[in-house]
Amino acid sequence: MKKVIIIGGGLGGLFTGAILAKEGFVVTVLEKNSTIGGGLQTFKRFGESFDTGMHVIGGMQPGGCIRKICSYLGIMDKVEIKDVDDDCSDYLYFAEDRASYRIGKGKDLFYQSLVRYFPEDAADIKQYINAVFALTDQIDLLNLRPSNGIMNLFAYSDDYLLSADGFIAKYVKNKKLASVLAYLNPLYGGRGNQTPAYIHAIISTLYINGTTRFVGGSNHFANLLRDVIIENGGHVLTNDGVEWIEVNNRHVEFVRTVKGEMHIADYYISDIHPCSLFKLVPEKTFPKPFRKRLNELPNAYSAFSVFIKLKERSFPYINHTEYYMTTYDDIWKFGRTDTQWPLGFLFMTPPERNQGKSANKAIITAPMSFEEVREWEATRWGHRTKDYEVWKERKADELLHLVEEIHPDFHNCILGVNTASPLTIRDFYGVKEGTLCGFSKDYNNIVASQVPVVTKIENLLLTGQNNNLHGFCGVPLTAINTCEAILGINYIINKINACVPD
């Protein structure tokens, strides 16, 4: 019955807390916002609930790693999700030549859909699919396989050490096809000649195997994780973030919240951005070189989002995600400040319970560098300046204008519009520069861009997207790493596999 304090109630904190609570720890989650979940948060506008971040999720298909974790936690039968269409799981549109591509779900349909557009490249497409699945098969954690827990780059194939764009180019000669295969890179902060191939492979295989959407809002999933913690004797406290962590002799003594509450535990786990954690501890807690390295690590880019309330029965519900791209050559340039914005965006209509033929709402999300909002960096939500609001309106209009290329007269379907910028994400998620994917991984030095879950402080651990993998699939896997740092290597992996055998 050891006690655990988790700092931050995002996806990583909740998964870590739920696992430890199930294994007998008394868990207390301390969240600064009024709502838990991080990227699972929803908000209400125009009488509708909008997801803030987790719009499309992988790993929930039968046999998927996240589905197995949810079964182990006892919540899988309560998760409300909707599969995307088999024949078109994703729709791509390139403005450069007004070409569109409908991508099928599953290895066979994925292959067949691409061969339909690139018949002369059939051999390369098959070779690429085999290579991308072979690459993900090397990752023990993704496959929930027991391992020795040591990252040995020499144990991986040459493909593992390539950049994502270099990996695609190795197997695909047609540059246009290569750009089509890279269409998911905005989802993992993909950058040319930087993002590691294994990141591309993980996301690609998850999407090829099939994606799902939360029905009626993503916050219900956060609440399911919260319930696991509470049902096992824990607590999830909101509206009271940690303002100080007392550390002496490499040992956390207690944490103090904004409201002045003191919390003492055996273990403390931080689910906030490491650079934000540095501000909560005495300066000498972490070595100066470590703090300098993390403060200088680049963050993945952020995004600008438009949340749209649609007029009744004016626009169809679309059971797949649509991706707008400007040019094929710009596919790896998202988040850069030397290019014109936007280079592309995601468009979707989220499903409701008892979803009919018409959509009630739509969401547009376009990758954006934090530099776009740097001049308002010192402001906080609810206290922005008028010029910032004008800027947001202009950016929203730009995106809505481009949507018309895919859906003519879309503006006539709009009843209301709400927007969010990288500043919004920074303030509500508590992440540096509004990053959606944590620290930007670099294939040139994979180890340097990794942050271990274990720290120099004996009872302080890390979890969340900045440590290993990001996103709805990566963060729960990192939570396993964190829990096993306490319980022992492969302890949780073996529990999951015993509960949910292949």
Report yes or no on 240 lying in a domain: yes
Same-domain status, 112 and 195: yes
Query: What's residue 502's pLDDT?
Result: 55
- CA 324, 327, 332, 338 dihedral sign is negative
Same-domain status, 156 and 234: no
Same-domain status, 181 and 118: yes
Same-domain status, 76 and 154: no
Report yes or no on 359 lying in a domain: no
Question: How much is the pTM?
Answer: 0.94
Phi, psi of 55 (to 5 degrees): -85, -40
- Final residue in a domain of this structure, among 182, 208, 234: 208
Query: What's residue 208's pLDDT?
Result: 94
| pLDDT, tens digit, 9 for 90 and up, residues 402-441 | 999 999 999 999 999 999 999 999 988 878 898 888 888 8
Whether the CB-CB separation of 197 and 166 falls below 8 Å is answered with yes
- Final residue in a domain of this structure, among 153, 179, 208: 208
**Is residue 431 within a helix (H) or strand (E), and if so which, with residue range?**
none
Same-domain status, 223 and 195: no
Query: What's residue 438's pLDDT?
Result: 84
Query: What's residue 501's pLDDT?
Result: 64
Report yes or no on 314 lying in a domain: no
What domain range includes position 194?
A: 104-208
One-letter-per-residue 3-state SS of 438-461: CECCCHHHCCCCCCCCECCCCCEE
* Residue 6: half-sphere exposure toward Cβ, Cα within 13 Å: 34
Query: What's residue 192's pLDDT?
Result: 87
Same-domain status, 198 and 143: yes
**CATH classification of the domain holding 21:** 3.50.50.60
Same-domain status, 168 and 252: no
> Whole-angstrom Cα distance, residue 64 to residue 363?
26
C-alpha separations of 299 from 72, 274, 433 in Å = 33, 12, 7
Domain count, the chain: 2
Torsion angle of the four alpha carbons 64, 67, 73, 77, in this order, in degrees rounded to the nearest 10: -150
Report yes or no on 287 lying in a domain: yes
- Final residue in a domain of this structure, among 189, 208, 227: 208
> Whole-angstrom Cα distance, residue 366 to residue 342?
7
Same-domain status, 241 and 199: no
Report yes or no on 44 lying in a domain: no
- CA 482, 34, 68, 214 dihedral sign is negative
Same-domain status, 225 and 292: yes
Report yes or no on 470 lying in a domain: yes
Same-domain status, 127 and 149: yes
Same-domain status, 123 and 76: no
Mean pLDDT by 10 residues, the chain (502 residues): 94 97 98 90 90 87 94 96 95 97 96 98 98 94 87 75 95 97 89 91 93 92 97 96 96 97 98 92 93 89 96 96 95 88 95 94 96 94 92 97 97 97 89 86 80 94 86 91 96 92 60
Whether the CB-CB separation of 263 and 30 falls below 8 Å is answered with yes
> Whole-angstrom Cα distance, residue 316 to residue 349?
9
Report yes or no on 249 lying in a domain: yes
Report yes or no on 344 lying in a domain: no
Same-domain status, 187 and 256: no
